[in-house]
A and B are shown apart, each in its own frame.
Chain A
Amino acid sequence: MFACIYDRIASKTAATDSENETGFSPLVDLAFTFSPLVEQTKADTVVFDVTGQDLLFGTHPNVLANELNAQNDSVRNVADEIARRAAKLNLKINIAIAANPDAAIHAARCCKGTTIIDGDDVLLHLAPLSIRKLDYSLARVEADRAEEIQETFALWGVCTFGDLARLPLAGVAERLGQDGVRLQKLAQGKTDRQIHLVRPPIGFEQSLELEDPISELEPFSFILSRLLNQLCANLHEYALATNELRLRLVTERCLEYRLQSGISAANEKDPTEVGVLNTCDLHERTITLPVPMRDPKTLLRLLLFDIEAQPPSAPIIKVSISAQPVKPRASQTGLFIPLAPEPEKLEITLARLAKLVGGENVGSPESLDAHRPDSFRMKRFRLATQRKKSRSNLQSVIRNPQSVMGFRMFRPAWRVDVETIQGKPTRISARGQASTRIRGQVVCAAGPWRGSGDWWRSDVWARDEWDVALVDPNARESKVICRIYRDLTNEQWFVEGIYD
């Protein structure tokens, strides 16, 4: 059985653009409350499948004795329920229920109120309808052809559905072809087609309002797990993944603020204050993923690491997670490509490392285009997706016959006491962190090399660099070669690092 609802007001005013927050018209939303199988035939016409709805709305116990009456009564109950819900939404609609969707459409458009058509009484209900009400688009007849056929019907004296239905099939087929046959079936209410379903709204956002505020991470992880499982199931259903998660936590303090500010705003009649206070205390986090994922366990761990690193300031009373849907990752691995960490596992490892040593201490180094010594920044570590054009073999690895001398940079540079003769360092003594020290007689020195820069900034640097080789007669270690420099801004000496 199919039910058709026809909005009388929308059809007259042509106000068909009204959409609610789900993106559908109120008619479609009303239909979705009854069935997931909904077709929006026109802006003012919606058909949906109500088969089995009698199990929900039941029949009156007094009429159970008669099966036919019971069926009619259950269909009537469904129609009444539709009308009741439409009235709640202030919709002025016609309702028709029939075994055929097209028959229901025509009945709803032409008959005011509620029309229930039994299987055998289709023609009885449709026959008196004007032929002008026939919807040619349902028979897949184009507009130009429809005008021709309308003129033909006028010449033939066909004024109602009944007139067309009673014409001989062979004669109609000879004169009007398949279009005529389909139109005649439409008039007879005997078409057989599948309704074109409206996709229900895709939900990539999950939220939950808690009865009691949660202030600990462990119980909150169960809430997150539940929401993420549902979210990932939705993504999986549509063969999608996500590369961005947005976590929105409403904290208890926020609610207090809202109430207090709401009261004060009501008293002071200053509605802007409510909005400001409400938004400033929300805890919102966005996690950008390097690759699309939809594994709830991985996402849960990442969220927990993030919350642990930056916890909300008050107990949580409402949580909402939304995911940005993207196409899932498709990667083709090769036999000769070196093993790389799995992206999901790598993200969790990076999150753990960030928790261990701090987020600013984990990543890929990137040299800055500056003359200042040791100018670099840390960037987020991502797996290199682009392969090199020509892959080097093992022999070409040893391409550089001269290996590069290593240098270890002290951060920050060690303060050093330097004895000089004629400006040349002769003996130095420095103590670094963890009781390590560098001291000794300078046996070889080269320098100075003067460098400076950033004179237009407050942190100007200017220095004289020396490379010195030290020998400490008291130490077991042999010669130590280090780079020292004299800071010209404050005339102090520092050890920058060691050649190693």
Chain B
Amino acid sequence: MNAAVTKKQIESTLTDRFGDVFERFERLPPKTLSTGIGEIDNALHGFPRGAITEIHGTASSGRTSLLLSALAAATSQEEICALVDCSDTFDLSSAAKAEVDFDRLLWIRCGHNLERAFKAVDLILHAGGFGLVALNLCDVPAKTVRRVISTWWFRFRRALENTPNALIVLTPIAAVHSCAALVLEVKSEASVWPNSLSLLSENRYSSFTAQPEHGGHLSLVQTSLPTFSSNKDSHFLQAMNIRVNRERPVEWQTREIKFKAHFH
């Protein structure tokens, strides 16, 4: 308290001599980009523009679900997006279900080359105009991501400053550190499997029946040989419960964010 008062006194004394050098400019609230998930938008107000957002988590934790929602939200707002896919794992089927507008998406497949991925992000950020840039390092081993020199992150942060663009980095572990304005850790809490399934093949002569296995596990065992079917939109995992933990910026009171990602 005393220190604060003393600082104010010094500033007021020196104002006549040095002008308004001590006057802090009003800092505008950061602009954000919708994540496309109501629960996260309510808690975090979206991904910050002009900054890096890092989403990390283990395999099947829900990082891609979050990314697809953000891409869908951004493209629906007529933003031009870029996805730098280091391991070439972008799935068009799930992206189409998430309503990502492919006409506004620039997809760069880097063929498992980390250096190319970083150079591609650098080119895109310096070109400007891309509302959302995503760097997908999900399938890069954690030890490789850990060895990425921090210069890249500083360079990206510098390129993003004072721009309306947002960069999302998906990593297996936290790697961006202080260069990220927002760090989210995602975890999959539970997966939802169907309780019962009754699938008929084309000729309807053979059928699948659900047989509950030990420990609540579900298994579908074919009762007879199924005939060939060309329907490829049939998957058994129905949904995942995903928990999002904000690691940065740290606040005293954190609220647990949860959302559910469905297959359809």
- With A361-B109, A367-B96 as contacts: A339 and B191 at CB distance below 8 Å: no
* Interface residue ranges of B105-120 to A (CB < 8 Å): 105-113, 116, 119-120
Total cross-chain contacts (CB, 8 A): 277
Contacting pair B120 A409 (CB below 8 A) = no
Contact A462 to B94, CB < 8 A, known contacts A366-B102, A406-B63, A481-B240: no
Say whether A361 contacts B36, CB under 8 Å.
no
Instruction: Give min CB distance, B125 to chain A, whole Å.
Output: 10
CB distance from A447 to the nearest CB of B (A): 6
Closest chain-A Cβ to B147's Cβ sits at a distance in Å of: 13
State in angstroms the CA–CA spacing of A138 and B38 once bound together: 80
Query: Is B129 a contact of A446 with CB atoms below 8 Å?
Result: no
A435 close to B141 (CB less than 8 A)? yes
Judged by a CB distance under 8 angstroms, whether A288 is at the interface is: no
Q: Assuming the A-B contacts A373-B232, A444-B193, A498-B60, are A361 and B111 also in contact, with contact meaning beta carbons closer than 8 angstroms in the complex? A: yes
Main secondary structure of the interface of A (DSSP, over half): mixed
Complex Cα distance, B122 from A357, in Å, reads 13
Cα distance A497–B237 in the bound complex, in angstroms? 13
- Give the chain A neighbours of B64 by CB distance below 8 A: 406-408, 500
CB proximity of B222 to chain A, nearest CB, Å: 7
Binds B, one of A214-222, A314-322, A324-332, A392-400: A392-400
For B140, give the chain A residue with the smallest CB separation. A434
Known contacts A397-B73, A405-B65, A479-B188: A451-B230 contact under CB 8 Å: yes
A365 with B92: CB separation less than 8 A: yes
B188 pairs with A371, CB closer than 8 A: no
**Tally of chain B residues near chain A (CB < 8 A):** 99
Check if A224 is an interface residue, CB within 8 A of chain B: no
B261 touches A405 (CB 8 A): yes
- Please pick, from B63, B65, B191, B197, the residue contacting A469 in the complex, using a CB distance under 8 A: B191
Which of A32-40, A106-114, A177-185, A374-382 lies on the face that meets chain B? Answer: A374-382
Residues 323-364 of A contacting B (Cβ, < 8 Å): 337-342, 345-346, 348-350, 352-353, 356-358, 361-364
Q: Please tell me if A474 contacts chain B, counting CB pairs below 8 Å.
A: no
A281 at the interface (CB under 8 A from B): no
Query: For residues 446 through 500 of chain A, which have their beta carbon under 8 Å from a beta carbon of chain B?
Result: 446-453, 462, 465-467, 469, 476-483, 497-500
Count of chain A residues near B, Cβ 8 A: 89
CA distance A482 to B59 in the complex (A): 9
Chain A contacts to B: CB under 8 angstroms? 337-342, 345-346, 348-350, 352-353, 356-358, 361-367, 371, 373-374, 376, 378, 381-384, 387-388, 391-392, 394, 396-398, 400-411, 422-424, 432-436, 438, 443-453, 462, 465-467, 469, 476-483, 497-500
**Which residues of B line the A interface, CB within 8 A?**
34, 36-38, 41, 58-69, 72-73, 76-80, 87-99, 102-113, 116, 119-120, 123-124, 127-131, 138-141, 144, 164, 187-188, 191, 193-194, 197, 199, 201, 215, 217-222, 226-232, 234-237, 239-240, 259-264
28 A-B residue contacts at CB 8 Å? A339-B128, A340-B80, A340-B129, A341-B128, A341-B129, A349-B123, A353-B124, A357-B109, A358-B111, A361-B109, A362-B109, A365-B90, A374-B93, A398-B34, A402-B262, A403-B68, A405-B263, A424-B221, A434-B139, A444-B193, A445-B217, A445-B219, A452-B229, A452-B230, A453-B230, A480-B58, A481-B240, A500-B138
